[in-house]
Amino acid sequence: MSVTALDTLQVVKKLKAAGFSEEQAEAVTQVVRDSQNLDLSNIATKSDLSAGLSEVRSELKAEIAEVRSEFRTEFAKIRTEISDTKVEIIKWVIGIGFAQAGFVVAMLRFMH
């Protein structure tokens, strides 16, 4: 991008011809001139943004993979706990069933 010198006198004349006052024309011209002298070296380029976006995507993918792994581990623990709980419930039901059967047998012997 090439920068050419700004003919401030010509700009002021054009602005005044368009209806600007002397002060307005000079102020607008000064703003344009100041904008030519801005330091744009710190402005991010499309390439900078693309690189940053790629980095963020990579980090996000890694974090998602980690969360999925943690969920799988937790779900496996929950499944194991559910399975263990089922076994305990079955043991209790069978134990209570035997106790009831023993009670019924004892009652029948007592009644005879």
pLDDT per position as a tens digit, 58-81: 999 999 999 999 999 999 999 999
State the Cα–Cα distance between residues 93 and 108, nearest whole angstrom: 22
What's phi and psi for 40, nearest 5 deg? -100, 10
Instruction: Determine the pLDDT at residue 6.
Output: 81
Instruction: Determine the pLDDT at residue 8.
Output: 85
What's phi and psi for 43, nearest 5 deg? -80, 135
Q: What pTM did the predictor assign?
A: 0.46
Sign of CA dihedral 12, 16, 21, 22: positive
Instruction: Determine the pLDDT at residue 20.
Output: 93
- Whether residue 36 contacts residue 3, with contact meaning beta carbons closer than 8 Å, is answered with yes
Work out the number of other CB atoms within 10 angstroms of the CB of residue 25. Answer: 20
Q: Please identify every stretch of the chain with a pLDDT value under 70, giving residue numbers as ranges.
A: 1-4
Instruction: Determine the pLDDT at residue 38.
Output: 83
State the Cα–Cα distance between residues 110 and 112, nearest whole angstrom: 6
